[in-house]
Amino acid sequence: MSEPLRWGVLGPGRIARKFASDLAFTDEGIITAVGSRSASSADKFGDEFSIPNRHSSYEALVADPDVDVVYVATPHPFHHDNAKLALEHGKPVLVEKALTMNAAEARDLVATARSAGLFLMEAMWTRFLPHVVAIRELIARGVLGNLVTVNAGHG
Protein backbone atom coordinates (compact mmCIF):
# COMPACT_ATOMS: atom_id res chain seq x y z
CA MET A 1 0.00 0.00 0.00
CA SER A 2 1.57 3.31 -1.03
CA GLU A 3 -0.71 5.54 1.04
CA PRO A 4 -2.33 4.64 4.34
CA LEU A 5 -6.04 3.81 4.30
CA ARG A 6 -8.00 6.84 5.51
CA TRP A 7 -10.53 5.77 8.15
CA GLY A 8 -13.68 7.51 9.27
CA VAL A 9 -14.91 6.52 12.73
CA LEU A 10 -18.69 6.49 13.05
CA GLY A 11 -19.55 6.63 16.74
CA PRO A 12 -16.73 7.87 19.03
CA GLY A 13 -17.32 5.67 22.07
CA ARG A 14 -15.20 3.32 24.18
CA ILE A 15 -14.65 0.70 21.47
CA ALA A 16 -13.75 3.41 18.94
CA ARG A 17 -11.11 4.67 21.35
CA LYS A 18 -9.54 1.21 21.47
CA PHE A 19 -9.61 1.03 17.65
CA ALA A 20 -8.00 4.47 17.34
CA SER A 21 -5.32 3.64 19.91
CA ASP A 22 -4.44 0.36 18.18
CA LEU A 23 -4.50 1.83 14.67
CA ALA A 24 -1.72 4.18 15.77
CA PHE A 25 0.60 1.13 15.95
CA THR A 26 0.29 0.47 12.20
CA ASP A 27 1.48 2.20 9.06
CA GLU A 28 -1.48 0.95 7.00
CA GLY A 29 -4.16 3.33 8.24
CA ILE A 30 -4.90 6.69 9.77
CA ILE A 31 -8.11 8.20 11.07
CA THR A 32 -8.97 11.27 9.04
CA ALA A 33 -12.52 11.85 10.27
CA VAL A 34 -14.91 11.17 13.11
CA GLY A 35 -18.69 11.39 13.04
CA SER A 36 -20.94 11.70 16.04
CA ARG A 37 -24.48 12.77 16.85
CA SER A 38 -23.01 15.88 18.48
CA ALA A 39 -20.24 18.28 17.58
CA SER A 40 -18.88 18.26 21.13
CA SER A 41 -18.45 14.48 21.12
CA ALA A 42 -16.78 14.53 17.70
CA ASP A 43 -14.48 17.34 18.83
CA LYS A 44 -13.53 15.57 22.07
CA PHE A 45 -12.61 12.38 20.17
CA GLY A 46 -10.89 14.42 17.46
CA ASP A 47 -8.80 16.28 20.01
CA GLU A 48 -7.84 13.05 21.77
CA PHE A 49 -6.58 11.40 18.56
CA SER A 50 -5.57 14.46 16.47
CA ILE A 51 -8.26 13.83 13.87
CA PRO A 52 -8.61 16.71 11.41
CA ASN A 53 -12.19 16.23 10.18
CA ARG A 54 -14.99 16.25 12.77
CA HIS A 55 -18.63 15.81 11.85
CA SER A 56 -21.74 16.33 13.95
CA SER A 57 -23.71 13.78 11.91
CA TYR A 58 -23.13 10.33 10.52
CA GLU A 59 -24.34 11.52 7.11
CA ALA A 60 -21.57 14.12 6.97
CA LEU A 61 -18.96 11.52 7.92
CA VAL A 62 -19.90 9.07 5.16
CA ALA A 63 -20.01 11.91 2.63
CA ASP A 64 -16.50 13.10 3.55
CA PRO A 65 -14.23 12.70 0.48
CA ASP A 66 -11.20 12.26 2.78
CA VAL A 67 -12.63 8.97 4.11
CA ASP A 68 -11.73 5.74 2.29
CA VAL A 69 -13.40 3.30 4.70
CA VAL A 70 -15.79 3.59 7.64
CA TYR A 71 -15.46 1.88 11.01
CA VAL A 72 -18.89 1.56 12.63
CA ALA A 73 -18.55 1.64 16.42
CA THR A 74 -22.04 2.61 17.53
CA PRO A 75 -24.12 0.39 19.86
CA HIS A 76 -25.00 -2.82 18.04
CA PRO A 77 -28.74 -2.12 17.63
CA PHE A 78 -27.67 0.67 15.23
CA HIS A 79 -25.05 -1.27 13.25
CA HIS A 80 -27.37 -2.18 10.37
CA ASP A 81 -28.56 1.35 9.69
CA ASN A 82 -25.11 2.92 10.19
CA ALA A 83 -23.31 0.38 7.99
CA LYS A 84 -25.98 0.63 5.32
CA LEU A 85 -25.63 4.42 5.31
CA ALA A 86 -21.89 4.11 4.67
CA LEU A 87 -22.35 1.45 1.97
CA GLU A 88 -24.98 3.58 0.23
CA HIS A 89 -22.40 6.39 0.12
CA GLY A 90 -19.88 4.11 -1.59
CA LYS A 91 -17.71 3.45 1.46
CA PRO A 92 -16.32 0.03 2.44
CA VAL A 93 -17.25 -0.80 6.03
CA LEU A 94 -15.77 -2.54 9.06
CA VAL A 95 -18.52 -3.06 11.65
CA GLU A 96 -17.79 -3.74 15.29
CA LYS A 97 -19.32 -6.98 16.51
CA ALA A 98 -22.06 -7.96 16.46
CA LEU A 99 -22.47 -7.21 12.77
CA THR A 100 -26.23 -6.82 13.10
CA MET A 101 -29.08 -7.73 15.43
CA ASN A 102 -30.31 -10.64 13.30
CA ALA A 103 -29.71 -12.67 10.16
CA ALA A 104 -32.14 -10.66 8.03
CA GLU A 105 -30.23 -7.45 8.72
CA ALA A 106 -26.93 -9.20 7.99
CA ARG A 107 -28.25 -10.54 4.67
CA ASP A 108 -29.41 -7.04 3.77
CA LEU A 109 -25.96 -5.56 4.43
CA VAL A 110 -24.23 -8.33 2.48
CA ALA A 111 -26.59 -7.82 -0.46
CA THR A 112 -26.03 -4.06 -0.36
CA ALA A 113 -22.24 -4.45 -0.24
CA ARG A 114 -22.19 -7.05 -3.02
CA SER A 115 -24.42 -5.02 -5.32
CA ALA A 116 -22.12 -2.02 -4.88
CA GLY A 117 -18.91 -4.07 -5.07
CA LEU A 118 -17.85 -2.90 -1.61
CA PHE A 119 -15.99 -4.57 1.24
CA LEU A 120 -18.03 -5.34 4.37
CA MET A 121 -16.68 -7.15 7.42
CA GLU A 122 -17.48 -7.73 11.05
CA ALA A 123 -14.57 -6.70 13.30
CA MET A 124 -13.94 -10.18 14.69
CA TRP A 125 -10.25 -9.90 15.62
CA THR A 126 -9.94 -13.49 16.81
CA ARG A 127 -10.15 -14.65 13.20
CA PHE A 128 -6.66 -13.21 12.60
CA LEU A 129 -4.86 -14.56 15.67
CA PRO A 130 -1.95 -16.82 14.68
CA HIS A 131 -3.35 -19.93 16.35
CA VAL A 132 -6.75 -19.48 14.71
CA VAL A 133 -5.10 -19.04 11.31
CA ALA A 134 -3.05 -22.21 11.91
CA ILE A 135 -6.15 -24.21 12.89
CA ARG A 136 -8.01 -23.07 9.76
CA GLU A 137 -5.01 -24.15 7.65
CA LEU A 138 -4.96 -27.60 9.33
CA ILE A 139 -8.68 -28.00 8.69
CA ALA A 140 -8.32 -26.95 5.05
CA ARG A 141 -5.53 -29.52 4.52
CA GLY A 142 -7.64 -32.26 6.13
CA VAL A 143 -5.05 -32.93 8.82
CA LEU A 144 -7.72 -33.07 11.52
CA GLY A 145 -10.05 -35.36 9.56
CA ASN A 146 -13.75 -34.79 9.08
CA LEU A 147 -14.73 -32.48 11.94
CA VAL A 148 -18.23 -32.82 13.28
CA THR A 149 -18.05 -30.80 16.50
CA VAL A 150 -15.50 -28.50 18.03
CA ASN A 151 -15.46 -27.44 21.66
CA ALA A 152 -12.64 -24.98 22.28
CA GLY A 153 -11.60 -22.42 24.80
CA HIS A 154 -9.77 -19.19 24.10
CA GLY A 155 -7.40 -17.94 26.69
Nearest to 57 by CA among 29, 82, 32: 82
Q: Please check whether residue 113 lies inside any domain of the structure.
A: yes
Q: What is the pLDDT of residues 76-119, one digit of tens each?
A: 999 999 999 999 999 999 999 999 999 999 999 999 999 999 99
pLDDT of 32-54, one tens digit each?
Answer: 999 999 999 999 999 999 999 99
Q: How far apart are CA 78 and CA 129, in angstroms?
A: 27
Q: How far apart are CA 137 and CA 142, in angstroms?
A: 9
What amino acid occupies position 49? Answer: F
Pick 1 or 35 by higher pLDDT: 35
- Does pLDDT of 1 surpass 70? no
Cα–Cα distance between 136 and 93 in angstroms, integer?
A: 24
pTM: 0.86
Is residue 102, in this structure, part of any structural domain at all?
yes
CATH code at 20? 3.40.50.720
> Where residue 17 falls among pLDDT bands split at 50, 70, 90?
very high
Q: Determine the residue type at 102.
A: N
Residue range of the domain that includes 24: 5-125
| Residue 91 placed within a domain | yes
Domain presence at residue 146: no
